[in-house]
Structure 1
Amino acid sequence: MRRRVVITGMGVMAPGGIGVNRFWALLREGRTSTRRITLFDASPFRSRVAAEIDFDPEAHGLEPQESRRMDRAAQLALVAAREAVADSGIELRERDAHRTGVCIGSAVGATMGLDLEYRVVSNGGRLDLVDPAYAIPHLYDYMVPSSFAAEIAWATFAEGPCTVVSTGCTSGIDSVGHAVELIREGSADVMIAGATDAPISPITLACFDAIKATTPRNDDPEHASRPFDETRNGFVLGEGSAIFVLEELESAKRRGATIHAEITGYASRCNAFHMTGLRPDGLEMAEAIRAALGESRTGVERVDYINAHGSGTKQNDRHETSAFKRSLGEHAYRTPVSSIKSMVGHSLGAIGSIEIAASVLAMKYNVVPPTANLHYPDPECDLDYVPLAARDHRTDVVLTVGSGFGGFQSAMVLARPDRSPT
């Protein structure tokens, strides 16, 4: 019999919503956290808006040496992990450390730290040959994203499987999916899994400016992220982290854990087509959805809510709409769909995990979060995208999806514990 995997702890660091409760309040109220970039002078760039976190490391329990050692993305992950472990009530010191693992997703690693330190060692870009004498001692940790997983493992006494998943914007789903498989196959009993990214830096803005993927709507930052809206013109960059405690179901029951949700299905596909382009028929995402539902043993008619990728680019939103119709058939027209990127921006590798958290909370409260700023629906995006305001809706099964540059397409099915398929 296949081992079943459940979420027993959650921690979230998101723009406008530090901690699970504040994050849910932002989504429930449909508030946006997008604004003009304040982390550095963004005036030279085409897109100058982002969803930033008002984050004070010391106020969130990080010691000065931890803040010095870790890139911002690692700091966000550590704070989220501490919240998740506390939420789960699990005593990790009392467990077999070799049966506890870590899996962290990240698209761009320690981008902010590397960007900042390059400016230091190059003296503001004036030196062709950089001077390493001015680098911080922990610069190597910025270069290797594996340092993120190592930091979480040290903090959670985990000596089992420890890895980083980097599949671009699907990293946050894929890292959790990989952790689920490790528990199912028996390699671990507990996994600390999720994702983190803090990409709001000059180099990242330059990368997305070059391909015009981010919005130039700088005069109205609060309404700049407009998934599925006819006036959308690119995504809004964000940052954040979401970390989960995953456990084998029977073990979680024996210790009396509160079970937030069961992860019943996961799948990923790649379109092998184009680095940034998407076929309009949505075939690869549809195949990932079908495979995830098949592993979940869940019929399409049981899907109560779809947490969309909904990046706010023209081709992504149309591609997703086609994928939902292709995979769910007529049921797609009866199923509420929404994109929380309209409120918290697109935190690249982290957003998939943040959206898993939103999906779990939608089930907990039977409320579908809205797609903010959706005033003029694109006629080609003709599903129920829950515009502007949250909706009370019985939600027992959620499908959450992700789409990333390179052609990555991922899907995950989550179920309320008392309604999970057998």
Structure 2
Amino acid sequence: MLFQLYRFYTLVLTVTLLFGDCHSASFQEIGQGIADVGKSAKDVSIGVAKDVINSIPSPQQIFESSKNALLAFPIEVIFSAVNQLCSSALSSQAVKPRETPDLQQLHFQFHTICSTYNYSILEFNRIVNNPEFDPKKPVVILATGWRTTINDSSTIVEFAKAFNCRGDSNFVAVDAAYFVDTLYTWSALNTDEIGANIAEGLVLLTEIIPIENIHLMGHSLGSHIMGAAGRHFYYKTGKLIPRITALDPAKPCFNEGESLSGIMRGDAEFVDVIHSDPGILGKRDPTGDVDFYPGGLGPLPKGCYDMGCAHSRSWQYYAETIYPGNEFSFMAVRCNSLTQLQQNKCPGVQVPMGYATPTNLKGNYFLEVNAESPFGKQSSAELLELQKNCGLCQKA
């Protein structure tokens, strides 16, 4: 058994080194790849070797491909099976949510540099009476993922710090922990109803501020919550939220056309998605108007050796772009794969991923990232160091 497992991993590794992301390719594609290698060898023999030489992977590329094959591929297979089981259970209505969301227990939390203010969804319009709320500025509303609480979320802490450093937006977090800090399938089932309830608050908010000033964001399960919020807001008003940003939207249990579809293009005028753990905890297939794949389609980006790290990278990448001067730290190109990008086969123009993403983009975009902070290839470590206390309360 161990020998067979060894042979399997050896095959996976070999194919990966030759063809890149083998776990996303069919056997027919792999066979075609072998034929292409044979053709390349023939070309070399007659002196046409330029493309072959340019396509030889670097040691770093070989390492990243090997890491994804050996560490992530078996986990991806397992999670794909779990996803199918979950979908079947939900379709058969064998799973019921343990807790039905209650409007009275859902809150928005407005974060300023030194204070936080809580508002129930049914009284969200009261936020305009807060002297620290500026109705002329955009309102960014973030929902986090499974088993996160509003008072114990590094995502919320970092986004609040970054947006308060920037100073041009009102940052609000959704407190839905009571309904997502539970068994995953129960949490997943709650996403649509939580989104519907959030839409109630958005209706109240748009009575006092222009709809064009609203930007919804979500990480993991939070992405699907905000997708549902956008849909239900449209059902109630006939208007679309201008932008929803999905940060590695959760994969398990969410499949287009099934009981839980999750966020998708059309939930807002513009839906941008950042995939950092595609195929395992995060969805791999494009779901937005524009989908970014920092580090490619492999589930483990540079610097990550487990799925938790990879899943968090999406919000870490975005947060880095919020700080003033870092908006263009992650420059991406429309492309079919990271390999093609690395071989200079994607002639399109570079566009920023994150805060400054243009809202007229369509398609899939790829980019390379660093293994550690700062993650953006165009980021300035010196500038980020200067901003490490920006957005923090300076009261004694």
Q: What TM-score range do you get, normalising by the shorter chain?
A: under 0.3
Superposition TM-score, scaled by structure 2 size: 0.27
Report the structure number with the largest CA radius of gyration. 2
Pick the structure with more strand per residue.
1
For CA contacts below 8 A with separation 6 or more, give which structure has more relative contact order. Answer: 1
